[in-house]
């Protein structure tokens, strides 16, 4: 490579870094409304020194227990830790786990005024048992009920959202198919948010309910299951274009793990490669990606710029163990490096 080409590439790289810094410096104060299935993640840490005499399973001697917000609540925490302002809309049960989740969100600076109690279900709780020496997850236990919320709770959600819809720079739907979000409610909420930036991290049940949104972010597995077709390098662009047309959305952002992302909008398709990292744990990478992308869009960054930042945030997340939000300082440092 010629010296002039090296200098030119170096200048382009510096310009990219400067542009990303300018975008993330605008994160502070951006208000994001997060709507979706909230969970409590519990980590039970301990040591494993022997196998149980009762069954061929390890015996975990517990040393500590940690509770953190999970699911859509983790997305709200990521928004907050990136220096945005997040308001959470979700459902908890009338139980101790629900109180722990709400208290944890408040401690992290997330507005919980949109969280409502459903007496007919437990708070969704995921318990992970982890061996400390190797940071190895031994087993996960889930407590949940996935039945749809009733009309009374739907009405409360709609009334709350209607009362504050104009206050937000962007709306984020985090759908885990746990019963809070359903087609009828989604359509009513989307109607409230006309002319707003709306991003969606979908699952399966409501996959095609999010018509007219700004950005729709499935992962590869979710997309394959929704369309009933395997994705390969030859059909990936055409499938994303087809989904974009069916949803009438501005862009589809397909996340593909270590293969990076593919953004498809009206101008074409753009591959966003993943940065080579030591992957520690892929838990919550999707949460981090949609949080970073959404808050960047709220600054009026372009779709490709926002997706690029979301890609970086997700990359930082996989280098951590467990459900741990990415901070503004971590993002700034990673961009500069």
Question: Catalytic amino acids?
Answer: 287
User: ∠ at Cα 35 (229, 324), nearest 5°?
Assistant: 85
- The answer for residues whose C-beta is within 8 angstroms of residue 65's C-beta and 6 or more apart is 42, 43, 44, 45
**How far is Cα of residue 65 from the mean position of the Cα atoms in its chain?**
24
- CB environment 269-306: b (16+ within 10 A), e (fewer): ebebebeeeeeebebbbbbbbbbbbbbbbbbebebebb
Q: How far apart are the first and last CA of the chain?
A: 23
Reference 170, options 303, 312, 332; nearest CA is 303
Bridge partner residues of 253 (DSSP): 263
**How far is Cα of residue 4 from the mean position of the Cα atoms in its chain?**
42
- Alpha-carbon span 176 to 282, nearest angstrom: 16
Q: Is 241 exposed, middle or buried (0-12, 13-18, 19+ CB in 10 A)?
A: middle
Could you tell me if residue 83 is left (phi over 0), alpha (psi between -120 and 50 degrees) or otherwise beta?
Answer: left
């Amino acid at each position: 490579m010629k010296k002039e080409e090296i200098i030119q590439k170096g200048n382009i790289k510096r310009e990219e870094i400067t542009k990303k810094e300018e975008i993330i410096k605008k994160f502070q104060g951006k208000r994001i409304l997060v709507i979706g299935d909230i969970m409590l993640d519990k980590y039970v840490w301990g040591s494993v020194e022997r196998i149980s005499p009762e069954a061929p399973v390890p015996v975990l001697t517990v040393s500590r227990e940690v509770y953190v917000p999970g699911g859509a609540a983790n997305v709200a925490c990521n928004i907050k830790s990136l220096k945005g302002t997040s308001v959470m809309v979700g459902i908890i049960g009338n139980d101790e786990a629900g109180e722990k989740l709400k208290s944890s969100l408040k401690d992290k600076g997330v507005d919980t005024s949109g969280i409502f109690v459903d007496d007919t279900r437990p708070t969704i709780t995921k318990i992970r048992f982890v061996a400390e020496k190797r940071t190895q997850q031994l087993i996960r236990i889930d407590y949940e009920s996935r039945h749809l919320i009733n009309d009374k709770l739907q009405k409360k959600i709609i009334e709350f959202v209607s009362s504050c819809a104009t206050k937000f720079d962007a709306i984020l739907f985090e759908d885990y198919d746990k019963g809070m979000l359903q087609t009828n409610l989604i359509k009513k909420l989307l109607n409230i948010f006309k002319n707003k930036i709306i991003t969606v991290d979908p699952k399966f049940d409501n996959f095609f309910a999010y018509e007219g949104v700004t950005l729709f972010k499935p992962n590869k597995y979710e997309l394959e299951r929704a369309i009933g077709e395997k994705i390969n390098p030859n059909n990936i662009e055409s499938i994303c274009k087809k989904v974009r047309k069916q949803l009438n959305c501005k862009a589809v952002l397909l996340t593909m793990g270590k293969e990076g992302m593919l953004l498809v909008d009206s101008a074409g398709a753009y591959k966003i490669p993943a940065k080579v990292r030591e992957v520690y744990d892929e838990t919550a990478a999707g949460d981090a990606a949609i949080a970073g992308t959404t808050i960047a869009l709220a600054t009026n960054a372009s779709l490709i710029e926002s997706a690029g930042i979301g890609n970086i945030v997700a990359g930082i997340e996989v280098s951590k163990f467990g459900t741990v939000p990415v901070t503004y300082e971590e993002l700034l440092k990673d961009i500069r490096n």
